[in-house]
Copies of this chain bind each other. A is one copy, B any other.
């Protein structure tokens, strides 16, 4: 391999793919980035951990000799970043060393043979029935508004992913851990074929970081039997899918209530955030919520102290006293963009739904705590 490319472009590509580089692995090859130079003047970069691959399609390069090499991603990224010139020349020798030259600098880095780098069989990705397309910033938002509910606990593996379900021309994204559901939908064009897949939370979280925020950018995606593939300007992200049946989430669409509250989102969030300050060493602090006379009161106590906070609101239906894990409320309230939120309750033991006022797109369902006896 022997090529010259622009330092800035190479650096940006490295930052992109580096998000897929494995950390603390027993396979050093997964800590590498794969560089491949083609005769037609293109350099591609790939990084992967076991379940996630990111490729950067095209870094323009003057390729004098095609070839490929795997280089320690962290070291190579640092080397490129610290080079002083505007162009970088990279050449490899028969011992899998890469020699990087820029200005007066010459750095030789020990690499690994490219053929040890795991690759996705491209033919597996060619049998595509439909490519879905959405605005990049919309998908970014859908992830932001649901990802925090993905289960951390590995005991139910399927819940460490998010359901992406396309049905009746609607894309639904759902994340569930044992005590809550986060839901977000987006309308797709008429005639969009149905599909269903569970994508690992880690892949979606990396995807949302590298998706462009610009209004006009789009991202297309499709599912194969085993993988989800996302393509946006400049990169492709491939993730393995989680296998199994996702929990049914129909109850989030239940609109019945015995108590309904409309309340200022920031004021309610502030009250919860102040209350959790009294939590002792990250132990969960139960919050008591009293709804009465157009007023929502929050109280909590611990060894560190006591808190009482009030938020004016509009209520409809019965008075209610109910207990919650504040984390679930805080995380939902933080990602809602609307100024006001609607809370719907039934009994003290049944889940509460949280929605932005007028927002049909997202919904949250939170299971309350059992009242202290």
The one of B79, B97, B307, B310 in contact with A107, judged by C-beta atoms closer than 8 angstroms, is B307
Rounded to whole Å, the gap between the CB of A29 and the closest CB of chain B is: 16
Interface string of A66-78 (1 = CB under 8 A from B): 0000001001001
B309/A104 in contact, CB under 8 A: yes
Bound Cα distance A267, B75 (Å): 20
Bound Cα distance A142, B60 (Å): 47
Within 8 A of B (CB), among A51-106: 72, 75, 78-79, 82-84, 97, 104-106
Q: Is A226 an interface residue (CB 8 A)?
A: no
15 A-B pairs besides A82-B277, A109-B304 with CB distance below 8 A are A72-B304, A75-B277, A82-B273, A83-B274, A97-B305, A105-B271, A105-B274, A105-B308, A106-B309, A107-B274, A107-B277, A107-B306, A107-B307, A110-B303, A110-B304
Q: Which residues of B contact A277 (CB under 8 A)?
A: 75, 78-79, 82, 107
B104/A278 in contact, CB under 8 A: no
Q: Is A270 an interface residue (CB 8 A)?
A: yes
Q: Is A168 an interface residue (CB 8 A)?
A: no
Pull 21 A–B residue pairs with CB atoms less than 8 Å apart, ordered by A.
A72-B304, A79-B274, A79-B277, A82-B273, A82-B277, A83-B274, A84-B267, A97-B305, A104-B309, A104-B310, A104-B311, A105-B307, A105-B309, A105-B310, A106-B307, A106-B309, A107-B274, A107-B307, A108-B305, A108-B306, A110-B305
